[in-house]
Amino acid sequence: MTAKPAFYITTPIYYVNDIPHIGHAYTTLACDVMARFKRLDGYDVMFLTGTDEHGQKVEKSAAAKGKQPIEFCDEVSQRFRDLAEFMNFSHDDFVRTTEERHKIACQALWRKLEDSGNIYLDKYSGWYSVRDEAYYTEGELLDGEGGEKLAPTGAPVEWVEEESYFFKLSAFEDKLLTWYDQLPETVLPKSRKNEVKSFVEGGLRDLSVSRTSFSWGVPVPGNDKHIMYVWIDALTNYLTAIGYPDMAGEAFQKFWPADVHMVGKDILRFHAVYWPAFLMAADIAPPKRVFAHGWWTNEGQKISKSIGNVIDPFEIVEEFGLDQVRYFLMREVPFGNDGDFSRNAMMSRTNADLAGGLGNLAQRSLSMIFKNCDGQIPVCGSLTEDDTTILAALDSQLDKVRDQMENQMFHKALEVIFNLESAANIYFNDQAPWALKKTDPERMATVLYVTAEIVRQMALLIQPFMPDSAAKLLDQLKIPADQRGFDQLGEVGRLASGVALDKPEGVFPRYVEAEKA
């Protein structure tokens, strides 16, 4: 038997100084959809998420709560695990940067960077933002209202002077530019790639990669008064989970280089400039792709704790339903762009696309089969041109969906699937099987068979996006668990006539807003 092709996708590991919000759910959901899609398409998938638990910001947050850093990290990291379970994410590993395996990986990478002559000891003096965990040049700073200096993100900065190890980032300009050009989709969307290229073309300065003014982090091997810069520590998680420093091991050999690092656009520079440079310096292949997605606003307003409009994923799922929220987040906005979360849009997607679209098609057709075909999948008689046209469109869906998924265009993949749902509802209404019941029961049976087959294939295709709802539809059609992969799409997996069905139940309920008290 041929080995399955490998596919490795990662979320950024989430910083534990805050509780999970919609942005965290969004990034991990995108990875979950991609991982599920690839598994169904015959790949051996590694899907990684986790928490980033070191750095000055965590040390300060823990102190503010009167807790030891590890105690604080244990609590917040657990919330991210809880969110992953709640959102039905299918990750294969959850890495914490406080684990021993991670410390071993970080220190091994550091030694490689040192041995290759890419790290040297000097003094750092410059502006540093604790909130962003980032260094800024004078030219990048903004003036605050009170005359104070601010980072381009609006975060406060402080002047730092301390002994520091530096990484020779300046030596990697040409190599990075070659990497961007050799692989056309190294950084997506293209606008983000242009942004990264122009940053590198503007000239790179060596990067301070250690701190001495706090102690919560991975010690520099051979000089433990230095703590590794949190971004060397955090980014190494992608190697930790596949067994680094054992580069000859099965997991490393199979899954590296990573296929996709999924990140928010605010941390693109760390992933698309610093990280590939660290890897090149350590003689490790850089990842195949970094995809930077956009941010969400809430009813047109920037989301912020001070305004009090943070979107809690637990709350919206409780209100609208898990798969409805998963569908909305992947469908509403072109993936890679910024998007707005609005209740009206959420209600519209839930009621029009799901309840009124696919849900309605499945419920009407399966109810008619249950009532009029002895509760069994009917026999498919001779096909008309209308039947063969819709079945041909149905059977060619996977290639179209796959094309969009390859570039993480989740919204377009769903558009392809739901365009077919619209065509299927038109087909069902035009054929009017309820009228054929008296005039031509054999034709009615064929129309109902074709419609049930459409429901089967659509249910297979929506599995990555709405796994629970897809499973309910496939259960109603009595599709065995081992016949739900994409290898069953098309003619090969056609429904078997005569299979007894249970009374169908609606899968996508309409959303009705609770009356205001």
Distance, in Å, from the CA atom of 367 to the CA atom of 249, rounded to the nearest integer, reads 53
Q: What is the pLDDT of residues 146-188, one digit of tens each?
A: 888 999 988 999 998 889 999 999 999 999 999 999 877 899 9
The predicted model gives 107-117 an average pLDDT of: 98
Helix (H/G/I), strand (E/B), else coil: 197: helix
Q: Is 376 exposed, middle or buried (0-12, 13-18, 19+ CB in 10 A)?
A: middle
Question: What is the number of alpha carbons within 13 Å of residue 397 lying toward its C-beta?
Answer: 32
**Pairwise CA distance, residues 266 & 22, whole Å:** 15
What pLDDT does 515 receive? 52
pLDDT band with cut points at 50, 70 and 90 for residue 294: confident
pTM of the model: 0.94
pLDDT of residue 296: 82
At the topology level, CATH places domain 343-493 in Isoleucyl-tRNA Synthetase; Domain 1 (1.10.730)
Tell whether omega for the bond before 334 is within 30 degrees of 0, i.e. cis.
Answer: no
Report how far Cα 339 is from the mean position of its chain's Cα atoms.
15
Cβ atoms of 287 and 257 within 8 Å: the answer is yes
For residues 322 and 468, the answer to whether their CB atoms sit within 8 Å is yes
Structure tokens at 273: 């400039």
**Could you report the per-residue pLDDT of 382-427, keeping only the tens digit for each?**
999 999 999 999 999 999 999 999 999 999 999 999 999 999 999 9
Lowest-confidence region among 10-14, 125-129, 182-186, 258-262:
182-186
> How high does pLDDT run on average in the chain?
94
What pLDDT does residue 516 have? Answer: 45
**Contact, 96 vs 73, CB < 8 A?**
yes
Contacts of 508 (CB under 8 A, 6+ apart): 324, 350, 354, 355, 358, 359, 469
Contacts 24+ apart (CB under 8 A), 220-229: 220/110, 220/165, 221/107, 221/110, 221/111, 226/163, 226/164, 226/165, 227/54, 228/106, 228/110
Residue 517 in this model has a pLDDT that exceeds 50:
no
Separation CA 468–CA 427 (nearest Å): 27
Q: What is the mean pLDDT of residues 300-316?
A: 79
Q: Helix (H, G, I), strand (E, B), or coil: what is residue 336?
A: coil
**What is the pLDDT, as a whole number, of residue 311?**
81
Q: What is the pLDDT of residues 236-280, one digit of tens each?
A: 999 999 999 999 999 999 999 999 999 999 999 999 999 999 999
Q: How far is CA 168 from CA 143, 173, 174, 299, in A?
A: 30, 10, 13, 44
C-alpha span between 14 and 25 (Å, rounded) = 11
Q: Which of 424, 402, 89, 480 shows the shortest CA–CA distance to 262?
A: 89
Mean pLDDT, residues 30-49 taken together: 98
Residue-by-residue DSSP string for 348-381: HIIIIIIIIIIIHHHHHHHHHHHHHSTTBPPP--
Q: Which pLDDT band, with edges at 50, 70 and 90, does 125 fall under? A: confident
